[in-house]
Amino acid sequence: MTELDSLTQDLQSAFGDAGAPVLSIYADINPARPENAGRAWAKRIKNALKDLPEIRDAHGKRDTPLYDEVLALIDEERPAARTLALFATRGLHGRLVVRRIDLQVDLPVVDLAQGRVEARWGEPYLTPIFFAADEYERGGVLHLEGAKWRFYELFLGELREDTAVFADISADEWRELKDLAERIENAAALRRAHTGGSFDKLSPKEREAAKVSTWMHKLYTRLAQALDKTVDRLGVERLVLMGEPWQVSHFEGYLSRGLRNRVVARVPQPGNASNPTPADLLERVTPALEAAERQAELALLERIKEQPGVWGLDPVLDALQLGRVETLVLPWALDARIWRCPEGAVGGTAEMAKLFCDQPQEVALRDHVWQLARDFGARLEFVRGEAEARVLRDFQGAAASLRW
């Protein structure tokens, strides 16, 4: 279980079923953005708090302890992140409950367009956190290096090493693998040094060193099987292989077809290959995974166009509420408005919603989209970059693949 998984359970327990009003804050705190220089985001959050109706305690007085706790958390120095989420409420017997979560990713279903802060007092707005924990795909990174291969689970920018993956491989086996790998790498280096790079120019001794032994073949088979089990156990959808090109390429041949289909990138060693920091790994891996995600989004839109699926807000919502939608595709910057009836039926226009009730209310789609998708069994996909531009331009703001 990742730290975020644990936090979502904690949030649900502390805020989801409390029944008391909750202060929910989301803020863009990405230090790479000029507008956040000098912790300018902290001032924006405090200004947003001032714009809310004053939060009062059970006696009708300003809840100063709540404000003080929230401001202290805002001012707390923490490692750089991209999004801050903060929640505060009065729990059982008036006990003050406050949580701050720093995430290494942007969150969908959060409107940060106005001042890059969203603050609410009332119903808990936990949907973005729960959505992220439920719907984001997990990535995996296999680092092939020396006498110890490592596997990392990557989820929402959080990198966690799984130490159980190769637990059955002994230290002696790792040392022998390292020795054989070094001999092959030396032979490969000699080959690259020869003009033209012809293998025939290597001596018989060098060619012999480059051969893979029967022992190595058996070990690679065991390593591949162990990796397969770990990927299934963790629910990893996309896999990145990191290491020397010859070894990455060779080991990939031992993977099952299902596992090979999950490999989205092969990247070179990080600068400190024997003991890389999380930052070293993320620097190599994150661009590759993001490129794979953008590619998959465009491919999904092509499938919707060819299926054919449906697009346009009214047709998509209609299909969704009939249980026809398999995947609901929306732009990352979701600012669409819909009309909602008291019992929950929705329409993309007031006219469509009036087929269900006499007086539908206009609401933000982002406030209800997670519930709608869950109620009708659809998978949500928020797209960015070129795919987002296509959804807005060619699919009238929403698209969906269909079950039938």
Tokens of 226: 């162990």
Q: What is residue 273's predicted lDDT score, i.e. its pLDDT?
A: 87
List Cβ neighbours of 108 (8 Å cut-off, separation of 6 or more).
128, 131, 132, 332, 334, 366, 382
Q: Which helix (H) or strand (E) holds 142?
A: strand 138-143
Share of the chain above pLDDT 70, in %: 90
CATH number, domain with residue 157: 3.30.420.60
> Is 117 found in the same domain as 9?
yes
Q: What is residue 2's predicted lDDT score, i.e. its pLDDT?
A: 54
Angstrom distance (rounded) from CA 301 to CA 385: 13
Tokens of 292: 């794979």
Q: What is residue 287's predicted lDDT score, i.e. its pLDDT?
A: 92
Does position 185 have pLDDT exceeding 80, yes or no? no
3-state secondary structure string, 295-362?
A: HHHHHHHHHHHHCCCEECHHHHHHHHHCCCEEEEEEECCCCCEEEECCCCCEECCHHHHCCCCCCCEE
> Is 129 found in the same domain as 51?
yes
Residue 222 domain-assigned (yes or no): yes
Choose the final residue of a domain: 135, 151, 180.
Answer: 135
> Is 233 found in the same domain as 157?
yes
Residue 297 domain-assigned (yes or no): no
Angstrom distance (rounded) from CA 173 to CA 175: 5
> Is 89 found in the same domain as 76?
yes
Choose the final residue of a domain: 236, 266, 292.
Answer: 292
> Is 279 found in the same domain as 144?
yes
Angstrom distance (rounded) from CA 400 to CA 313: 10
> Is 282 found in the same domain as 147?
yes
> Is 313 found in the same domain as 278?
no
Angstrom distance (rounded) from CA 157 to CA 347: 35
Diameter of the chain by CA atoms?
Answer: 89
Choose the final residue of a domain: 135, 166, 195.
Answer: 135
Q: Which residue has the higher pLDDT, 336 or 198?
A: 336
Q: What is residue 190's predicted lDDT score, i.e. its pLDDT?
A: 65
> Is 287 found in the same domain as 146?
yes
Residue 298 domain-assigned (yes or no): no
Model confidence at 93, in pLDDT bands (50, 70, 90)? confident
Residue 301 domain-assigned (yes or no): no
Q: What is residue 197's predicted lDDT score, i.e. its pLDDT?
A: 52
Q: How far is CA 250 from CA 101, 193, 229, 348, 361, in A?
A: 41, 21, 20, 52, 60
Instruction: Report whether 166 contacts 231 (CB < 8 A).
Output: no
List Cβ neighbours of 37 (8 Å cut-off, separation of 6 or more).
31
Residue 300 domain-assigned (yes or no): no
Map residue 404 onto helix, strand or coil. coil
> Is 172 found in the same domain as 130?
no
Q: How far is CA 163 from CA 134, 142, 272, in A?
A: 24, 12, 20
Q: What is the mean pLDDT of residues 91-112?
A: 85
Highest-confidence range of 7-21, 152-166, 317-331, by mean pLDDT? 317-331
Residue 120 domain-assigned (yes or no): yes
Does position 30 have pLDDT exceeding 60, yes or no? yes
Q: What is residue 200's predicted lDDT score, i.e. its pLDDT?
A: 52
> Is 325 found in the same domain as 184?
no
Model confidence at 182, in pLDDT bands (50, 70, 90)? confident
Q: Which residue has the higher pLDDT, 42 or 130?
A: 42
Q: Which helix (H) or strand (E) holds 237?
A: strand 236-242
The mean-pLDDT minimum among 69-83, 87-101, 203-217 falls in 203-217
> Is 164 found in the same domain as 101?
no
> Is 158 found in the same domain as 228?
yes
Q: How many CB atoms lie within 10 A of CB 171?
A: 9
Sign of the alpha-carbon torsion through 30, 35, 37, 43: negative
List the domain range (segments joined by +) for residue 193. 138-292
Q: What is residue 377's predicted lDDT score, i.e. its pLDDT?
A: 94
Average pLDDT, the chain: 88
Which 8-state DSSP code applies to residue 196? G
Summarize pLDDT for 357-370 with one digit per residue, the tens. Answer: 999 999 999 989 98
Residue 168 domain-assigned (yes or no): yes
CATH number, domain with residue 325: 3.30.1330.30
Alpha carbon 142 to chain centroid distance? Answer: 18
Crossing angle of helices 278-306/385-394, nearest 10°? 20
Instruction: Report whether 124 contacts 220 (CB < 8 A).
Output: no
Residue 108 domain-assigned (yes or no): yes
Domain total for the chain?
Answer: 3
CATH number, domain with residue 79: 3.30.960.10
Q: Model's pTM, two decimal places?
A: 0.81
